[in-house]
Amino acid sequence: MKVAFTSSSGEMIDQHFGQCQNFYIWEIAPENAHLDTVISGIVAGADEEDRIQSRAKALADCSIVYTMQIGGPAAAKLVAQKIHPMKTNTEVSIPETVARLQEVLRGNPPPWLKKALNKDTAPAFDED
């Protein structure tokens, strides 16, 4: 599954979802994990709604987004796209977070994580 991290360096989760410049996207499986890509320079209008929508759209392939902080409207947009927001509240190491997530995946993941793992296989509902 793909997991996004809001980070200034790629080492720590240290950015707010709405203000970060880079999203580090990792491909994470129970036995292996690697940095897949970095999404930078998401351009949107000055309007906060446009900025949130642009970020959510750029992360559409991700199952989880780890961020230091995220506002309610942004979290709701992610959830509507079947992306699970995870707020850390403090700076947290990305490699340690990846290792902990892999450990959970090797065991018996909680229901929300099983749902995130199956994101691409669940039927999509069009909101239009």
pLDDT tens for residues 102-117? 999 998 888 888 887 7
Residue 124 lies in a domain: no
Residue 128 lies in a domain: no
State the CATH number of the domain containing residue 40. 3.30.420.130
Tell whether the model's pLDDT for residue 80 goes beyond 70: yes
Residue 62 lies in a domain: yes
Question: Chain-centre distance of CA 114, in angstroms?
Answer: 15
Total domains present in the chain? 1
Domain limits for position 14: 2-117
Residue 14 lies in a domain: yes
Tell me the pLDDT tens digit for each residue of 8-65. 999 999 999 988 889 999 999 999 999 999 998 776 566 667 778 888 889 999 999 9
87, burial (CB in 10 Å: exposed 0-12, middle 13-18, buried 19+):
middle
Question: Chain-centre distance of CA 75, in angstroms?
Answer: 10
Residue 127 lies in a domain: no
